Amino acid sequence: MTQEAIRIAVVGHTNAGKTSLLRTLTRRVSFGEVSQRPGTTRHVESVDLDVNGEAAVRFFDTPGLEDAVALREHLAGFDAGATPPERIRQFLQGPEAHGVFEQEAKVLRTMLDIDAAFLVIDVREPVLPKFRDEIELLNSCARPVLPVLNFVRDAASREPAWKELLSAYGLHVQVRFDAAAPFVGAERDLYNDLATLLRDRRDQLRGVADFLDTEAAERRRSACTRIAALLVDAAAIRRTVSATEFADTARREALVAALRKTVFDKAQRCTDDLLALYGFRQGDADEAPLQAIEGRWTLDFFSPEAMKDAGLRLGKGAVIGAAVGVVADLAVAGISLGAGAALGGAIGGAVSQGWGPLGRKLVNKLRDVHEVTVEDGVLFTLVAWQLKLTQALEQRGHAATQRIATETPEDGDAPTRAAAAAVRGAQPARNHPEWESTAVATRSFWRPSPQREALVSDLSRALLPAFEA
């Protein structure tokens, strides 16, 4: 028999981050309105957290408590022999609940009809008397309350003082959860701690936590598969050009520009897919601008200066240089294949010839045909930054308003090692230009071959170590 959804009210002072918390817990970046203006939420709104297609938790986003001090004084005039919940119900039946204390009434009315509440606290706030009144009001509803300490990473945090206050009112179980940048494991901690307050729902809450862990692992695997597909796609790119065209500066530059745009477009589509996979959206420049859209992803991956700025110039370190295996000028069977040097010099060393098997090299040499592919260093740059982006998305709340912080991959770190291994493993794609997804864009029936998909699967597994702790 399916259990009813656990009903959770999200309560707290104005602008404490209630809607932000719900955006992150439900991964719905468009839920409610997040703003620095006080009193942004004016009505009670609900949102479900689905597990296996059914609502497991139903959250209620409530307005901020604005005048708990005056309301506590007002309640003191009610029947002294009544229990705290009875006095709350008497207040809700009076005219003040639809007048001066309308916002507080919405919160308290919700509190009487839920299983538990998350009390969201902005720990940057000083511990003022009004907060004691708010806690007493909520406790008067006789529902379990779990304090959620928000903004704990901020330098202005007063976390110890808040913990002392909450413990003084019997709220000893507390959880640290930064809505904009959640700690690893914070979501599981929240549901596990809630299970200690709702013992009859313990198994259901543990099921929610387990489902979220499974979902996170699947999301990570999907991200690695998408990045691996980008790598195979870019490695398979091959453009042929006759010696005559190659010698023409204008035509050569046009070829390079077209190749550059092709790779950039592929990288941007991958970025867009990763954002969607993690529940973020495009076009939120005013609310949640992502650096992947406006910042680093606008750089030219073919530019040596850009690669230098990103700390990814080939040869910088053992991992980036030797481990990747840089394509060098070749001399095969005494035949000088020096076109690679000419092409590399023409476009700054960021695109070089992909000669493929010896037979094709020799045939093309005799035919005076050059093949242009994407250099390993560019492939490495694409993969390393996509991995870093994914790492950042995994640690980003859906209410974050600051630009995403994507660190530069460093020699020896997990994303760098994984990217280098994947680039080495992607070399077979260079011999299969038909594996490029856009190579037959005009033929809508194109489908990836089993061999291509097998390579993507192998590379996806090679990328997973990038997310080691």
Q: What is the pLDDT of residue 266?
A: 86
The answer to whether 127 touches 162, Cβ cutoff 8 Å, is yes
Question: Model confidence over 4-39: pLDDT tens digits?
Answer: 999 999 998 888 888 888 888 888 776 655 444 444
Would you kindly state where each structural domain of the chain is located, as residue ranges? 6-197, 218-467
For the cut 50, the answer to whether the pLDDT of residue 205 exceeds it is yes
Chain-centre distance of CA 74, in angstroms? 46
Q: What is the pLDDT of residue 318?
A: 33
| pLDDT mean over 61-73 | 88
Is the pLDDT confidence value at 191 over 50? yes
Instruction: Using the Cα atoms of residue 52, residue 55, residue 57 and residue 59 in order, give the sign of their dihedral.
Output: positive
Model pTM above 0.85: no
What CATH architecture is 6-197?
3-Layer(aba) Sandwich (3.40)
Burial (CB < 10 A; 0-12, 13-18, 19+), residue 416, is buried
Q: What is the pLDDT of residues 74-133, one digit of tens each?
A: 888 888 888 999 999 999 999 998 888 998 999 999 999 999 999 999 999 999 888 999
Nearest Cα neighbor of 176 from 168, 166, 27 is 166
Cβ–Cβ under 8 Å, residues 197 and 429: no
Q: How far apart are CA 191 and CA 234, in angstroms?
A: 42
Rounded to whole angstroms, the Cα distance separating 274 from 270 reads 6
For residue 308, the Cα-to-chain-centroid distance in whole angstroms is: 26
At 78, phi and psi to the nearest 5? -85, 175
- Distance CA(462)–CA(418), nearest Å, equals 6
| Residue of 64, 71, 73, 69 whose CA lies nearest to 40 | 64
- Name the residue with higher pLDDT: 458 or 342: 458
- Secondary element (H or E) of residue 170: none
Residues 6+ apart with CB under 8 A from 374: 234, 235, 237, 259, 263, 351, 354
Mean of all residue pLDDT scores within the chain:
76
pLDDT band at 341 (very low <50, low <70, confident <90, very high): very low
- Strand-pair category, 351-352 with 369-374: antiparallel
Here the tokens at position 218 are 């699947």
Residue carrying structure tokens 């020699």? 411
Taking the C-alpha atoms of residue 288 and residue 268, their distance in angstroms, rounded to an integer, is 18
**Cβ burial, residue 311 (10 Å; 0-12/13-18/19+):** middle
Give the number of other Cβ atoms within 10 Å of residue 56's Cβ: 21
Q: Cα separation of 391 and 227, whole Å?
A: 13
- The structure tokens listed for 106 are 């919405």
Q: Phi and psi at residue 337, in whole multiples of 5°?
A: -110, 65
Q: What is the pLDDT of residue 328?
A: 28
Q: Per-residue pLDDT for 40 more than 80?
A: no
Q: The tokens 């297609």 sit on which residue?
A: 53
| CB-based contact 182:212 (threshold 8 Å) | no
Q: What is the pLDDT of residue 329?
A: 27
Instruction: Express each pLDDT in 139-161 by its tens digit.
Output: 999 999 999 999 898 899 999 99
